[in-house]
Chain A
Amino acid sequence: MSEPDDPRWLSEISDELREEVPVRAAWRSRLLDDVARSRRPALGDTYDDRIDDTGAAIAEATPRRRRIVLTPIASVAAALLFAALGAGVTYVALSGRNANTLAPIASASRDSATRTTTTLVSTQTPADRETVRFALSAPNASRVALVGSFNEWNPIATPLVRDPATGTWMVSLRLPPGRHVYAFVVDGDVTADPAAPRAADDDFGSANSVVLVTGNAS
């Protein structure tokens, strides 16, 4: 039988390991005092915090850093919030840019229709949009829409709203600077704006109208 298989040999080793290690009373007392003085670990404490707390000298000499623990889910939620805020701020900045540049209302040259725009030229950035009010007097119409280069000639994109008191159909659009060609669709018939300059482009049957948006009026 070899030595490791001898039960007596294992028992001797075990007894040796279980013997109490002599500790100096003063050291033991100081350790217990330190433990008693240290604060209880709180939720969110890191391992380093707890170690620092056990050493009074370190704790007093070093200002404790507060750590904010962000879980991945909370981080993503916060990120989405920031992204939404960023998008919102951008939108407000762009849409509000010309909030005070409503074009002056021009009186109608004829009683059949009015259109509001500005033709004064000024320098502006491409983001400068102006509010242009389109109006057409058509008391007997049941549906009026606006088509043009600004809405890809889509007849359902920009319907006009009828004022029951006057029979005038109106819509306001924020248009970028430029020369825009447009027409009204009155109950399916395409017609130019009687109060606006005409475009000589009757390639497809009838002429269109022109509106010029030049940014901030000067």
Chain B
Amino acid sequence: MIARMPSAISTRIGMVSLIVALVLGLATSATHASAQEQPDRTLPAQLSAGTRATLERLIDSARVAGLPVDPLYSKVREGVFRSADEARVVAAVQRLGRDLGDARSALGDSARTEEIAAGANALRAGVRPADLSKLRDSRGRRGDHPLTVALVVLADLATRGVPPAMAAASVNELVARNVSDGSLMSFRQNVERDLVGGRSAASALDARTKSMIDEMERRRP
């Protein structure tokens, strides 16, 4: 005798499995999409258990302080990629954590994650926290405009040998005059070109800053 399932029950089972699979499918794709946006927040297995524990503590402290932690994870992975010894990796993460905290203090509690990371990098290049605060105060009319590009340009100039105080003064003047981010990047490229061409840092910076301000004045209606 062949046992046949009543069609009504069969239909109900079918509908239920259809809905369950649909929900699972959507949940899976949503999770996948979310995973694509989230950077990996695990520590590399190549590190010893002791080092991983130390790094976890450092990163947790940063997290509790409200600092961005992705740059810290990235620093760990960079150290592993470059085959740095574990003590050096820990020291680099410690230093970056301090710089992030100092940058946040200088830029204010409302600073964005990217601004804090870029500010930390500028501090690392030798820029003083007071210069970051001046930059924040110079945003002028663009009160809500991110300072990320300005901070990246500042760190770049300082890294290329421009005295940090001098670089900070120039970038600050441009930001105060509401120079666009695109113009700031052009400014950086021009100064870099001058430096490669053998011009002194002070001369290149002074000339390019004046040139940009003159151009803005000419364009003003």
- Give me the interface of A with B, judged by CB distance under 8 Å: 44, 46, 67-72, 74-76, 78-80, 82-84, 86-87, 90-91, 94, 109-110, 119-121, 126-127, 147, 149-150, 152-155, 176, 178-179, 181, 190, 197-201, 203-205, 207-208, 210, 212, 214
Contact = CB atoms under 8 A, between A and B. Distances in A.
Interface stretch (B52-60, B73-81, B129-137, B171-179): B73-81
B92 to A, nearest CB: 4
B79 A204 contact: yes
B74 A69 contact: no
Given A86-B25, A147-B81, A120 B182 contact: yes
A155 B121 CA distance: 24
Contact of B118 (A109, A120, A179, A190): A179
A169 to B, nearest CB: 19
A153 B114 contact: no
A188 to B, nearest CB: 11
Nearest to A71: B10
Interface string B99-134: 000000000000001100110011011100000000
18 contacts: A46-B7, A69-B7, A70-B15, A71-B14, A72-B13, A75-B17, A78-B14, A80-B25, A83-B28, A90-B32, A127-B37, A149-B70, A153-B80, A197-B185, A207-B159, A208-B78, A210-B152, A210-B155
Contact of B11 (A69, A179, A205): A69
Contacts, number: 176
A74 B14 contact: yes
Interface residues of B, number: 71
Contacts of A155: 81
Contact of B82 (A44, A68, A72, A204): A204
B30 interface: yes
A119 B181 CA distance: 6
Nearest to A211: B152
B167 to A, nearest CB: 11
B29 A90 contact: yes
Nearest to B40: A152
Contact of A199 (B18, B155, B181): B155
A181 B122 CA distance: 14
Contacts of A109: 189, 192-193
Give the interface centre of B79, B82, B126 by most chain A CB atoms within 10 Å: B82
A119 B100 CA distance: 22
B39 interface: yes
A179 B117 contact: yes
A161 B124 CA distance: 34
B7 A197 contact: no
B149 interface: yes
B2 interface: no
Interface string B174-214: 00000011101100110011001000000000000000000
